[in-house]
Structure 1
Amino acid sequence: MKKITRKKHLEMRLQSIPSHPNPKVGLEQYTTPSVIASDLVWNAYSLGDILDKNIVDLGCGTGVFAIASRLMGANSSVGVDIDADSIGLARDVCDKLNVDGVDFIVSDICEFSGPINPDTVFQNPPFGSQRKADSGQDLKFVKKAIELSPEVFYSFHMASTQDFLIDYYHDNGCEITHIFRYDFPIPKIYDFHTKEKQDVEVIVIRAELK
């Protein structure tokens, strides 16, 4: 498998990864757009968090961060998601793109226990973009990332919660080194959606364990 060396080429490859096949409102499933995924992974690569590293993608959906990491030279990638439909599609995508070295596991992330000590964790958890969404779901992902003891992890959150998150990360022994900002498009995929698309301001926190 040939490693990608240009950001635009990475974005083009990720465009072929489909969205969740049967999006489930209870899981707040929204696919990370290829332009956001490629930008974040490219930045992570530039910071030394991808090449020859072991990657875990929590709440991986159809596998965009696990696959992108391998395309950028990660040693291995593991994607974890509770949704078997999405995991099945992620496996099919790897076959079609001839991407090896990626494993996918169907599991609630709270029950996931390995691999031990990955180098880098990516996670795009339910971050509360729905008015009736259960609050604090993203914090469960943060706790799991800390439990896995990576060198660094990247986590999506609502931008409006930034001040709270800075304190939360600090109180849990994490050093925030970077905050990336994106307008995350929420498409009209659920019955309660009234707009064809709505952009939500999100942040991705890069954190290291102290």
Structure 2
Amino acid sequence: MKKITRKKHLEMKIQSILPHPKPKVELEQYSTPSIIASDLLWNALSLGDIEDKNILDLGCGSGIFAIGSALLGAKSAIGIDIDEDSINLALENASNMKAENIDFISEDVLGLENNFDADTIFQNPPFGSQKKADKGMDLKFVKKAHDLSPDVLYSFHMASTEDFLINYFDELSFEITHIFRYSFPIPKIYDFHTKESRDVNVIVIRSTL
């Protein structure tokens, strides 16, 4: 596998990653657009967080961050998702991309033990907006990421919760170094959606331990 050395080539490559054919509303499955994923991955690469690093992609879905990291020269990449259909899709995508040193595991992220030597974690967790019982699910992912003790964490969140998140990360002794801002398009993929597409403001917090 030839390592990608230009951002536009990365975006073109991951555009062909297949999205989930039947996303599950209870898991809030939305595909990260290639333009957002490639921008974040390229920033992470520039900050020294990918090349020759062990990458963990929590709630990996179709595997875009694990695969993208592998294409950028990660030492290893592991994607984890509770949904077996997503894992099967991620495996197919990795095979199609001829991505090396990559694996995918079907497991509940919140039940993981610290058996991973992760340098960098990427996560785009559900925000718990569909079920009251799952409210604050993204915070549970942050706590789990903390328990896994990576050097660096990249975590997606709703921009409207930024102030609360800054305090929460501080309580966990994360040091926030960067906040990336994106307009995340949500397509009409679930029955309750009334618009063909809408944009949601999200942030990605880069933090270190």
The equivalent of 1:146 in structure 2 is: 146
Code of the residue aligned with 1:208 in structure 2: it is: T
Deviation, 1:113, is: 2.1
The equivalent of 2:167 in structure 1 is: 167
Deviation, 1:23, is: 0.4
1:58 touches 1:123 (CA, 8 Å); kept in 2? Answer: yes
1:57 touches 1:122 (CA, 8 Å); kept in 2? Answer: yes
2:114 touches 2:147 (CA, 8 Å); kept in 1? Answer: no
Correspondences of 1:105-124 after superposition (within 5 Å) = 105-124=105-124
SS in 2 for 1:79: strand
Q: TM-score, normalised by structure 2?
A: 0.97
Whether 1:12 aligns to 2:4 is no
The equivalent of 1:44 in structure 2 is: 44
The equivalent of 1:191 in structure 2 is: 191
Runs of 5+ unmatched residues, structure 2: none
Whether 1:80 aligns to 2:80 is yes
The equivalent of 1:21 in structure 2 is: 21
1:21 touches 1:86 (CA, 8 Å); kept in 2? Answer: no
1:119 touches 1:150 (CA, 8 Å); kept in 2? Answer: yes
Work out the CA distance in 1 between the residues paired with 2:112 and 2:13.
Answer: 29
The equivalent of 2:92 in structure 1 is: 92
Supply the RMSD in Å over aligned alpha carbons: 1.3
Deviation, 1:127, is: 2.3
Work out the CA distance in 2 between the residues paired with 1:36 and 1:132.
Answer: 28
Deviation, 1:109, is: 0.2
Q: TM-score, normalised by structure 1?
A: 0.96
Runs of 5+ unmatched residues, structure 1: none
The total of aligned residue pairs comes to 209
Percent of aligned positions that are identical: 67
The equivalent of 1:208 in structure 2 is: 208
Deviation, 1:68, is: 0.2
Work out the CA distance in 2 between the residues paired with 1:115 and 1:10.
Answer: 30
Code of the residue aligned with 1:172 in structure 2: it is: L
Work out the CA distance in 2 between the residues paired with 1:60 and 1:117.
Answer: 17
List per-residue Cα deviations over 1:148-196 (Å, max 9, x = no partner).
1000000000000000000000011100000000000100000000000
Work out the CA distance in 2 between the residues paired with 1:120 and 1:164.
Answer: 23
Greater Cα offset, 17-26 or 193-202 = 17-26
